[in-house]
Amino acid sequence: MSTVTTRADATVVRPWQQLVIIWALLLTVPFWLPLVGGYTAIAARVLVMALAAMGLNLLLGYTGVLSFGHAAYFGLGAYGAGLTLKYVAASTPLSILAGTLLGGIAGTLFGLLLVRRRGVYFAMVTIAFGQVCFYIAYKWDDFTGGYDGLRGFVRAPLDFGLFKIDITGNGMLFYYFVLVVFGLAVGLQALILKSPFGRTMLAIRENERRARFLGLPVEKHIWLSFSISCFFTALAGTLYALLNNFADPLGLNYIMSGNIVMIAVMGGMRTFWGPLVGAVLFVMLQDYVSSMTTNWMSFVGLVFVLVVLFFPRGLMGVLQKRSGA
């Protein structure tokens, strides 16, 4: 029986243990992060990038389809939230809802044009659409702030009627607010992945032809997966705008799309929590290295290459790779 490998004993750290460790760390961030030289706002940035990459990963890691244009939905989320706060109402929940719908619906509609493309062609078309969004934000000075980005909005306190929670500061409260949104979003993702629909995503990743001959309408499922993925990445974008009180046209650029892909791949795209680990690494590198040199991206690139060469399944994938043989 020495070669017998099952799902359970192939995992060094069991899923429920991962869950406990990860949530224990996330919930206590404001208490331990300053001790290791970090600050709470950077932790919020990690959560935002992780959520963007986990959204992408539903498509990339679980459906097996690569989008190189997820910055478009991230950026649309950010602008949607910013524009709502600036022009419509000083309501944080409304801005999140509006931004998520803007990015998600754009992705859903665009996905209709995409689903018959595969592989490189799919990725190329997603880049193209991302760049279209980027140039619109970049050129439309009056509305989007153009090159300078969208400023002149601030996140509003949460108003629960009986009491208000002031999340306008950069401290603990805002971090926990982001963490709650993050928790709800990834909980929803986990439910989707555990559903019959979620299993069809895996089926398409594993063998599209087999899936088709089971009678699955593969294009429809890829479209839905793309759409769901865009909604989550757009939600991350809204949080990004709230975090910075700023929406940046570069958030729509293909470089940002590449960053989101890198985060998922470095962390481990076949694992649920991989993108979170990737986001920790990415944001840490971004923060520490960019304080030393403006050329920080080349360091991130180097780390990316090393991770891909030595841990092809990503950092989190290492935990799941070892077989019982």
Catalog residues that contact another protein under the rule CB under 8 A.
Answer: 4-8, 191-192, 195-197, 199-200, 202-203, 206-207, 209-210, 212-217, 221, 224
What is the closest distance, in whole angstroms, from the C-beta atom of residue 103 to another protein in the complex? 21
What is the closest distance, in whole angstroms, from the C-beta atom of residue 44 to another protein in the complex? 29
Nearer to another protein, 136 or 192 (CB): 192
Instruction: Enter the tokens of residue 251.
Output: 């958030």
What is the closest distance, in whole angstroms, from the C-beta atom of residue 319 to another protein in the complex? 16
CA gap 162, 297 in Å, rounded: 47
Nearer to another protein, 38 or 274 (CB): 274
Amino acid at 193: L
How far from chain centre, in Å, is Cα 203? 22
Nearest to 31 by CA among 187, 176, 168, 164: 176
What is the closest distance, in whole angstroms, from the C-beta atom of residue 3 to another protein in the complex? 8
**Which DSSP state fits 150?**
B
Nearer to another protein, 43 or 203 (CB): 203
CA gap 103, 80 in Å, rounded: 8
Nearer to another protein, 64 or 275 (CB): 64
What is the closest distance, in whole angstroms, from the C-beta atom of residue 228 to another protein in the complex? 10
How far from chain centre, in Å, is Cα 176? 18
Nearer to another protein, 131 or 320 (CB): 320
Between the alpha carbon of residue 240 and those of residues 2, 42, 247, 300, the distances in Å are 49, 12, 8, 20
